[in-house]
Amino acid sequence: MTASPSVAQSLAAQSRWRWWEIALGVAALASWWLVGEHALLANEIAILALFAVSLDLILGYAGIVSLGHAAFFGFGAYTAALFAKHVMPDPLVGLVVAIAAATLLGLVCSLLILRGSDLTRLMVTLGVALVLFELANKLDWLTGGIDGLQGVTIAPLLGRFEFDLYGRVAYGYSLAVLVVALLIARRVVHSPFGVSLKALRDNRLRATSIGMDVHMRLVAVYALAAALAGASGALLAQTTGFASLDVLDFHRSADVLLVLVIGGTGYLYGGIFGAIAFKLLHDLISAWTPQYWTFWLGLFLVLLVMVGRERLVRPWTWWRR
């Protein structure tokens, strides 16, 4: 069955590139030359942005709230680190292996979220992350346990570019993966599949009543989100040469939720803007007051919720009113 001309035209109009998207791409490309000594921070922002985009696919488009999205992030990190240490140090091959492993985990975990209420899914996703955390802690002969997986050596990127201490190669690598992942995610959400995800997010019962295969769509988008989260975890392990229990900790899932609270959900770029704001706030506030940076971050979040994101970004629009 083909879409009607009006629907096809609407999808084509939504998928057109906006000027600000092009400007964002140019700025991302130019940032590699402009970051200078802040390349390591920029690399962290790119990895967190990719992680946030993966969560936005299931939260902003499918309506699945997850408190355990770090499960896929950590699984990808450990897979990439173990692959580099015991099999092959090539970063691109390790990235593909980590994405495949995280996708498989996402397919398995997606079966657990198909039934039950939103609260049930919330607890199930948290439970999966906690189980993986304890497994990584107990299997210290494989993962290094609480000491982390050490001795991970990553080969030069494309056989030529070595990962330097300044992080420029690492940032270029993470930025390239982020751009590719964003293009894939953008193509998905502007397709009929993406529109159907919004339909089941808004009213799952009505989507089922019109013959939409809700379960298969949830499985597909959950596996895709797991793949992107695994890619972000693999990037962290490869660019730092280290994987520890921290990649599976609850704060990973909480931080990426905060990123989407700051940047917004349901339009992909919220993860990018939120990651930039979150990391810059974290870096600046922790340098100013290392002990109480969470207080000021929490105060900012309260202000954001009370005032509203649009009013903070465009204060002149409501000041005139």
CA 211 to CA 73: how far, in whole Å?
A: 34
Half-sphere exposure of 23 (CA within 13 A, CB side): 3
For residue 225, the model assigns a pLDDT of 92
Q: Which amino acid is at 42?
A: A
For residue 10, the model assigns a pLDDT of 66
CA 274 to CA 265: how far, in whole Å?
A: 10
Half-sphere exposure of 205 (CA within 13 A, CB side): 1
What are the residue ranges in the chain where pLDDT is below 70?
1-15, 116-118, 202-205, 207-208, 211, 290, 292, 307-321
Residues 6 or more apart in contact with residue 300 via CB below 8 angstroms = 281
For residue 315, the model assigns a pLDDT of 46
Q: Classify residue 310 as exposed, middle or buried by CB count within 10 Å of its CB (0-12, 13-18, 19+).
A: exposed
For residue 269, the model assigns a pLDDT of 84
Distances from the Cα of 44 to the Cαs of 146, 168, 202, 276, in angstroms?
Answer: 22, 12, 33, 9
User: Structure pTM?
Assistant: 0.87
CA 68 to CA 320: how far, in whole Å?
A: 42
- Condensed to tens digits (0 to 9), the pLDDT of residues 191-246 reads 888 777 777 776 666 766 776 777 788 888 889 999 999 999 999 988 888 888 88
For residue 219, the model assigns a pLDDT of 85
Q: Where in the chain is the domain with CATH 1.10.3470?
A: 32-288
For residue 309, the model assigns a pLDDT of 59
For residue 216, the model assigns a pLDDT of 83
CA 147 to CA 124: how far, in whole Å?
A: 28
CA 129 to CA 73: how far, in whole Å?
A: 10
CA 269 to CA 281: how far, in whole Å?
A: 18
Domain range 32-288, CATH architecture:
Orthogonal Bundle (1.10)
CA 149 to CA 140: how far, in whole Å?
A: 9
For residue 97, the model assigns a pLDDT of 93
CB 65 within 8 A of CB 133: no
> How far apart are the two ends of the chain, measured CA to CA in Å?
48
Counting DSSP H helices and E strands in the chain, the numbers are: 16, 0
